[in-house]
């Protein structure tokens, strides 16, 4: 007994002083634990160099493994596709890669890369085209030259266009096979407007209309050194890599003067209830929402906290209510969405059995309304969300590749490169009142588009309980004849 | 192979010379071996610690050597169900009053068992069923009053944990997340706590969640439906035939009592491996491991699986008429991955479908344009027991499965008849080495790979030796193994047939 007392005193003392508990003390409850401060860590900042021709290059050395990765981001996304050739950027990026260059045609390029365990891939989403090279250190000088050659002088081989087109048509024919794909495709149309550059989708006709000349024109318009950003991460010395970059890209002339073409659009939201009928499912895929914000919105940090309150951890509102407590869903989440240079999508999503479709819609609507009215985010919720985001902050920069990926986005979309430290300060400054106001400003349950993909057989409530129902037409147009 | 030639400029040559003057800086894989420490806690739980400089974070994975292969009918889906329950807390985490909750949980289970035995009895009485069900629901509600919902995840998320998740496969169950490196003790506490005395609270609510998972992954997807039917058909005796997610009837009837028995049998400390990778020091980690994981008493190792899949003697064909577009799958039995020929199966896999230089891509996608995607797997659905080599193809629009099948068979027969070329084999080896380097970039993936090797071979070093074994594969090995494996009687074929899709897509006579 006499021995126990001093020991207990010591532990109490160390807690009172905020010191880590003695190593011998074994915690019974998580709250008994005390943590040492996180070791100081400088987030690595890539070296940023602008070549004479305007090419912005970012370099970040990482010598752990004998690998180098190069990412090129070009503002040549699908939102610039002509209306009758939707799918152009996507096919363009594929044929840029698969067709190889004038000096190293596609099939030979494939052999060359695979023989070295190197990879070049290219793709385009709505906003940008991306090309990535991954190479072993020892092949990097050669690989970089090949990469530059493909980006600057793609062959756009007509045969490879037919391969890519055939693949795109094959996947298009399957576009109604998976519920989630149907859900988000159709929801984008409701949020942005069916013809908007952020929602329109390719058809057999638009894919069929794309000619080799269109790919050449797409490349000629967008691929210029002063309209591209390159990021290098890996096992190189910055000075050496710069010399290689200058050799590979330095004599590439600047693009034409003038502003980049921009996608134009006018929001055409479609509030109401929509049903895409899919009979071969036992679940309803459900989404509710409307247009969101850009990442430079003044409420952005408050919204990050709000999103965390809605569906950050398992104990967040939506996950706890619909999944843990009601067992209604395996997947559920909700957020005020944000994007870099156009508004993102604000949405609440759940997949639930057909028999609880109505219950799940009601639960999401109730939570969306409550967070604005009867149950605004509490001080405790806000504190917890902030603590979670700040304690996990290091994971925004835990690997050199993650740092680079973020830096590339900041550079491409013209955001300050110290965005991450602003983000941290922003989160620290948010007050509960700001979170409440942001919820009122950015969530509009009365303007929700509610979309359900599934079958009506066995539903607990008619969808008309939630408003007038419009059927979504998912009919596939006839496919043009095979040549 | 073609050496690429670009018109050389003076600057380019200087760049290259500068390059060559710099010694290769990237570390080789051997350095990982030097930075790995093995530690076994007294109860038999094996730990590996890989010290990796960089950001002050670490990831870990705990691999339990138990998967759906340890299930028998009646409890299919239970390994996965336990995975979900491992996030529900302990007597110290997730309760307002443990003694009270413990009683309430016992009452829930008794009420459930009473309802279930009436329900499954020979002549269930509807009135009795109704009142038993009402009693069960009342007891559930009572127990729910004691619960601090999602307390386990709550602590972890608040302290900066990310990527918390788990997965259950045919062979094993894998738990993982990442934390800032100053929270090592939190990891040691939480991870030991949940495998020391997990509490199966909210079990029947969570069983509903798992049924939603089944509806999502299996029932509402053409691919999911095909894979389930294919897996069931391909094994005659071995439990690899059971869908890991479980059969509907089992998901609606296994109990907390079943789950507790399963946990006691298979979550013996000696059946677990945990790998920690990140900016940590083994010397600081090990005392924490002994302190927290050492609390758990040793238990006997689980019994081995007795059933061995008998040789297949008849080809099996599964035809699924489905609203989804056609998909094609064929698979052949092969030995467990501990077999010395596994590197040869990996070579066949890569040469058939790995990337744009592969045989199936070039034949089916590039030249014949009858498929939009081809892939293969040299170990389905697991690696621990004799498994399947599977080939998968997504037919192009309007192309019937038979055409895809014929083209796949041509390539398979060619592999049996002729040696692969030296270039193909060299490409396989180069790709495998580079792919391996890319995989181990991430802490959590490196942790999982090491855990896999430790579980399968009892020695994590096998992960690094694998590359050397791949280097030994010869063209003769490939022909020998291809001839052994690619036999009609050893095959299961599964396809989605969609008459409407193939008919409507028949080339029309009209020219565009």
DSSP for A280-311 reads S-SEEEEEEEEE-EETT-TTHHHHHHHHHHHH
Q: How confident is the model at residue A454 (pLDDT cuts 50, 70, 90)?
A: very high
Sequence length of chain A is: 483
Bond before B381 cis per omega within 30 degrees: yes
B316-321: strand order across its sheet:
B316-321, B491-497, B327-334, B387-395, B371-380
Average pLDDT over residues B403-417: 98
Average pLDDT over residues A65-80: 96
Structure tokens, B487 = 């036999």
- Burial class from Cβ neighbours inside 10 Å (0-12, 13-18, 19+) for residue B340 reads exposed
CA distance A455 to chain B (A): 11
Spatial contact of B492 and B240, defined as CB atoms under 8 Å apart: no
- C-alpha atoms less than 13 angstroms from C-alpha of B216 in its C-beta half-sphere: 18
Number of H helices, E strands in chain A: 16, 14
Q: Do A481 and B93 touch (CB under 8 A)?
A: no
Query: Tell me: the pLDDT tens digits for B221-279?
Result: 999 999 999 999 999 999 999 999 999 999 999 999 999 999 999 999 999 999 999 99
Chain centroid to CA B92: how far? 31
Q: What are phi and psi of B28, to 5 degrees?
A: -85, 175
Query: Tell me: the pLDDT tens digits for A291-324?
Result: 999 999 999 999 999 999 999 988 899 999 999 8
Q: How confident is the model at residue A480 (pLDDT cuts 50, 70, 90)?
A: low
Residue-level pLDDT at A24: 57
Average pLDDT over residues A333-351: 96
Structure tokens, A89 = 């950027």
Alpha-carbon Rg for chain B, nearest whole angstrom, is 26
Block residue for tokens 């430290």 = A421
Query: Tell me: the pLDDT tens digits for B281-300?
Result: 999 999 999 999 999 999 99
CA distance A296 to chain B (A): 25
Structure tokens, B366 = 């590039």
Whether B139 shows a pLDDT value over 90: the answer reads yes
Whether B25 shows a pLDDT value over 60: the answer reads no
Q: What are phi and psi of A32, to 5 degrees?
A: -75, -15
Spatial contact of B83 and B208, defined as CB atoms under 8 Å apart: no
Query: Chain A residues with CB inside 8 Å of B202's CB?
Result: 324
- C-alpha atoms less than 13 angstroms from C-alpha of A318 in its C-beta half-sphere: 27
Residue-level pLDDT at A175: 94
CA distances from residue B291 to B42, B189, B269 in whole angstroms, order as listed = 11, 9, 14
Euclidean distance between CA atoms A334 and A331, whole angstroms:
11
Write the CB contacts of A117 (distance below 8 Å, at least 6 apart in sequence): A136, B430, B431, B432, B433, B434, B435
Tell me which chain A residue has its CA closest to the CA of residue B361: A163
Q: Do B151 and A315 touch (CB under 8 A)?
A: yes
Report which of B283, B264, B286, B276 is spatially closest to residue B40, judged by C-alpha positions: B286
Q: How confident is the model at residue A264 (pLDDT cuts 50, 70, 90)?
A: confident
Euclidean distance between CA atoms A357 and A456, whole angstroms:
9
Euclidean distance between CA atoms A219 and A88, whole angstroms:
11
Name B36's bridge partners. B50
Query: Tell me: the pLDDT tens digits for A76-86?
Result: 999 999 999 99
- Structure letter (DSSP) for residue A32: G
Average pLDDT over residues A435-458: 96
Least CB-CB distance to B356: which of A104, A110, A323?
A110
Q: How confident is the model at residue B94 (pLDDT cuts 50, 70, 90)?
A: very high
Whether A9 shows a pLDDT value over 80: the answer reads no
Euclidean distance between CA atoms A330 and A324, whole angstroms:
9
* ipTM of the complex, rounded to two decimals: 0.91
Q: Do B92 and A104 touch (CB under 8 A)?
A: no
Write the CB contacts of A414 (distance below 8 Å, at least 6 apart in sequence): none
Q: How confident is the model at residue A3 (pLDDT cuts 50, 70, 90)?
A: very low
Element (H, E) at A134: strand A129-136
A449-454: strand order across its sheet:
A332-335, A345-353, A283-291, A449-454, A272-277, A469-471
Query: Chain B residues with CB inside 8 Å of A331's CB?
Result: 212, 216
Spatial contact of A137 and B454, defined as CB atoms under 8 Å apart: no
Euclidean distance between CA atoms A51 and A245, whole angstroms:
9
Let me know the angle formed at the C-alpha of A351 by A349 and A356, rounded to the nearest 5 degrees: 115
Report which of B326, B334, B80, B333 is spatially closest to residue B225, judged by C-alpha positions: B326
How do A469-471 and B36-40 pair as beta strands?
A: unpaired
Tell me which chain B residue has its CA closest to the CA of residue A44: B55
CA distance A339 to chain B (A): 22
Q: How confident is the model at residue B9 (pLDDT cuts 50, 70, 90)?
A: very low
Structure tokens, A381 = 């919720």
Average pLDDT over residues A316-333: 91
Spatial contact of A400 and A71, defined as CB atoms under 8 Å apart: no
B173-180: strand order across its sheet:
B36-40, B46-51, B272-278, B57-64, B173-180, B162-168
Higher-scoring residue by pLDDT: A480, A257: A257
Query: Tell me: the pLDDT tens digits for B185-202?
Result: 999 999 999 999 999 999
Report which of B103, B110, B106 is spatially closest to residue B132, judged by C-alpha positions: B110
Tell me if residue B39 falls in helix, strand or coil.
strand
Name A131's bridge partners. A72, A122
Q: Do B182 and A172 touch (CB under 8 A)?
A: no
Q: What are phi and psi of B147, to 5 degrees?
A: -85, 135
Query: Chain B residues with CB inside 8 Å of A393's CB?
Result: 160
Q: Do B5 and A103 touch (CB under 8 A)?
A: yes
Higher-scoring residue by pLDDT: A236, A264: A236
Longest CA span, chain B: 92
Query: Chain A residues with CB inside 8 Å of B322's CB?
Result: 280
Euclidean distance between CA atoms B372 and A177, whole angstroms:
16
Write the CB contacts of B233 (distance below 8 Å, at least 6 apart in sequence): B241, B316, B318, B492, B494
Whether B11 shows a pLDDT value over 60: the answer reads no
Q: Do B15 and A246 touch (CB under 8 A)?
A: yes
Chain centroid to CA B87: how far? 19
Euclidean distance between CA atoms A467 and A452, whole angstroms:
13
How do A293-294 and A338-339 pair as beta strands?
A: parallel
Residue-level pLDDT at A481: 60
Report which of A329, A326, A346 is spatially closest to residue A439, judged by C-alpha positions: A346
Whether B454 shows a pLDDT value over 70: the answer reads yes
CA distance A107 to chain B (A): 8
- Structure letter (DSSP) for residue A416: -
Handedness of CA B273, B277, B283, B286 (dihedral sign): negative
Report which of B399, B413, B310, B306 is spatially closest to residue B352, judged by C-alpha positions: B413
- Structure letter (DSSP) for residue B365: I
- Whether A39 and chain B come into contact, CB under 8 Å, resolves to yes
Longest CA span, chain A: 94
Spatial contact of B350 and B432, defined as CB atoms under 8 Å apart: yes
Spatial contact of A460 and A355, defined as CB atoms under 8 Å apart: yes
Chain centroid to CA B260: how far? 23
How do B327-334 and B491-497 pair as beta strands?
A: antiparallel
- Whether A23 and chain B come into contact, CB under 8 Å, resolves to yes
Query: Tell me: the pLDDT tens digits for A155-168?
Result: 999 999 999 999 99
Q: Do A481 and B507 touch (CB under 8 A)?
A: yes
Whether A447 shows a pLDDT value over 80: the answer reads yes
Structure tokens, B470 = 């791949």
Helix then strand then coil, % of chain B, to nearest 5 = 50, 15, 35
Q: Is B201 left (phi over 0), alpha (psi -120 to 50) or beta?
A: beta
Euclidean distance between CA atoms A135 and B146, whole angstroms:
56
Spatial contact of A103 and B6, defined as CB atoms under 8 Å apart: yes
Write the CB contacts of A381 (distance below 8 Å, at least 6 apart in sequence): A309
Q: How confident is the model at residue B505 (pLDDT cuts 50, 70, 90)?
A: low
Structure tokens, B23 = 């010694």
Element (H, E) at B18: helix B10-21
Euclidean distance between CA atoms B102 and B91, whole angstroms:
9
The rounded percent of chain A whose pLDDT value lies above 90 is 86
The rounded percent of chain B whose pLDDT value lies above 90 is 89
Query: Tell me: the pLDDT tens digits for B349-384?
Result: 999 999 999 999 999 999 999 999 999 999 999 999
- C-alpha atoms less than 13 angstroms from C-alpha of A138 in its C-beta half-sphere: 7
Query: Chain B residues with CB inside 8 Å of A327's CB?
Result: 205-209, 212
């Amino acid at each position: 007994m006499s021995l126990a007392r001093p020991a207990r005193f010591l532990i109490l003392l160390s807690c009172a002083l905020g010191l880590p508990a003695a190593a011998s003390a074994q915690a019974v409850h998580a709250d008994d634990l005390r943590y040492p401060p996180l070791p100081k860590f400088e987030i690595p900042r890539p070296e940023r160099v602008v070549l004479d021709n305007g090419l912005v290059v970012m370099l970040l050395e990482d010598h752990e493994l004998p690998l180098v990765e190069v990412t090129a981001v070009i503002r040549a996304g699908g939102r610039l596709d002509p209306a009758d050739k939707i799918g152009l950027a996507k096919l363009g990026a594929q044929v840029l890669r698969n067709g190889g260059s004038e000096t190293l045609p596609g099939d030979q390029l494939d052999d060359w890369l695979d023989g070295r365990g190197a990879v070049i891939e290219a793709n385009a989403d709505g906003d940008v085209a991306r090309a990535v090279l991954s190479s072993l250190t020892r092949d990097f000088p050669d690989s970089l030259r090949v990469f530059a050659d493909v980006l600057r002088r793609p062959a756009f081989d007509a045969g490879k266009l037919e391969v890519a087109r055939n693949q795109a048509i094959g996947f298009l024919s399957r576009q109604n096979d998976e519920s989630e794909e149907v859900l988000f495709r159709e929801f984008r149309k409701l949020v942005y407007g069916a013809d908007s550059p952020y929602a329109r989708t390719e058809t057999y006709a638009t894919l069929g209309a794309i000619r080799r000349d269109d790919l050449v024109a797409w490349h000629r318009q967008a691929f210029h050194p002063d309209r591209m950003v390159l990021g290098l991460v890996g096992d190189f010395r910055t000075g050496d890599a710069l010399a290689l970059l200058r050799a590979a890209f330095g004599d590439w002339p600047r693009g034409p003067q003038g502003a980049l073409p921009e996608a134009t659009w006018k929001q055409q939201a479609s509030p109401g209830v929509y049903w895409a009928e899919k009979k071969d499912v036992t679940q309803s895929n459900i989404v509710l929402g409307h247009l969101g914000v850009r990442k430079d919105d003044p409420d952005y940090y408050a919204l990050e906290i709000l999103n965390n309150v809605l569906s950050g951890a398992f104990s967040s509102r939506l996950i706890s209510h619909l999944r843990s407590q009601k067992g209604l869903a395996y997947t559920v989440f909700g957020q005020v969405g944000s994007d870099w240079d156009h508004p993102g999508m604000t949405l609440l999503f759940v997949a639930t059995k057909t028999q609880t479709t109505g219950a799940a819609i009601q639960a999401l609507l109730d939570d969306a309304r409550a967070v604005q009215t009867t149950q605004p985010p509490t001080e405790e919720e806000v504190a917890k969300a902030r603590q979670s985001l700040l304690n996990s902050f290091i994971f925004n920069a835990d690997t050199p590749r993650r740092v680079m990926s973020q830096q590339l986005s900041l550079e491409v979309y013209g955001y300050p490169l110290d965005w991450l430290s602003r983000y941290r300060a922003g989160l620290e400054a948010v007050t509960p009142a700001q979170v409440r106001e942001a919820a009122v400003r950015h969530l509009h349950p009365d303007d929700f588009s509610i979309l359900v993909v599934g079958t009506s057989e066995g539903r607990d409530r008619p969808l008309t309980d939630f408003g007038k129902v419009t059927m979504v037409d998912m009919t596939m147009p006839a496919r043009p004849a095979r040549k | 192979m073609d050496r690429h030639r670009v018109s050389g400029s003076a600057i380019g040559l200087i760049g290259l010379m500068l390059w060559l003057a710099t010694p290769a800086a990237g570390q080789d894989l051997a350095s990982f071996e030097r930075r790995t420490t093995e530690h076994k806690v007294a109860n038999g739980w094996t730990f590996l610690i890989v010290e990796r400089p960089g950001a002050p974070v670490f990831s870990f994975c705990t691999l339990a050597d138990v998967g759906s292969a340890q299930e028998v009918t009646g409890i299919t889906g239970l390994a996965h169900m336990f995975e979900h329950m491992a996030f529900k807390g302990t007597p110290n985490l997730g309760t307002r009053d443990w003694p009270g909750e413990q009683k309430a949980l016992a009452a829930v289970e008794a009420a459930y068992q009473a309802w279930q035995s009436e329900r499954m009895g020979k002549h269930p009485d509807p009135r009795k069923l109704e009142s038993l069900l009402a009693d069960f629901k009342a007891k559930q509600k009572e127990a729910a009053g004691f619960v601090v919902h999602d307390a386990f995840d709550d602590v972890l998320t608040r302290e900066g944990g990310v990527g918390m998740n788990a997965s259950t496969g045919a062979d094993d169950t894998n738990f993982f997340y990442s934390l800032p490196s100053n929270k090592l003790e939190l990891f040691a506490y939480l991870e030991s706590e949940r495998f020391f005395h997990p509490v199966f609270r909210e079990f029947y609510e969570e069983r509903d969640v798992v049924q939603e998972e089944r509806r999502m992954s299996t029932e509402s997807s053409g691919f999911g439906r095909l894979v389930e039917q294919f897996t069931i058909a391909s094994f005659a005796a071995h439990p690899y035939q059971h869908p890991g997610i479980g059969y509907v009837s089992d998901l609606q009837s296994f109990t907390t009592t079943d789950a507790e028995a399963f946990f006691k049998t298979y979550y013996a400390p000696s059946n677990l491996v945990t790998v920690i990778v990140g900016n940590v020091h083994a010397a600081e980690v090990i005392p924490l491991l002994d302190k927290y994981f050492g609390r758990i008493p040793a238990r006997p190792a689980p019994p081995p699986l007795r059933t061995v899949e008998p040789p297949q003697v008849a080809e099996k064909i599964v035809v699924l008429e489905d609203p989804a577009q056609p998909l094609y799958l064929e698979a052949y039995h092969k030995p467990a991955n501990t077999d010395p020929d596994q590197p040869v199966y990996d070579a066949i896999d890569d040469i058939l479908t790995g990337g744009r230089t592969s045989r199936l891509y070039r034949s089916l996608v590039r030249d014949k344009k009858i498929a939009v995607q081809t892939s293969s797997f040299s170990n389905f659905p697991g690696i621990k027991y004799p498994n399947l080599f599977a080939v998968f193809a997504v037919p192009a629009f309007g192309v019937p499965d038979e055409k895809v099948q014929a083209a796949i068979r041509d390539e398979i027969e060619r592999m049996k008849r002729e040696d692969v070329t030296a270039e193909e084999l060299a490409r396989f080896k180069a790709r495998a080495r580079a792919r391996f380097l890319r995989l181990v970039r991430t802490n959590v993936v490196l942790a999982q790979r090491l855990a896999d090797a430790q579980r399968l071979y009892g020695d994590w070093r096998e992960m690094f030796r694998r590359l050397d074994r791949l280097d030994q594969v010869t063209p003769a090995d490939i022909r020998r193994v291809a001839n052994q494996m690619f036999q009609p009687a050893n095959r299961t074929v599964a396809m989605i047939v969609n008459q409407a899709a193939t008919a409507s897509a028949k080339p029309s006579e009209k020219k565009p």
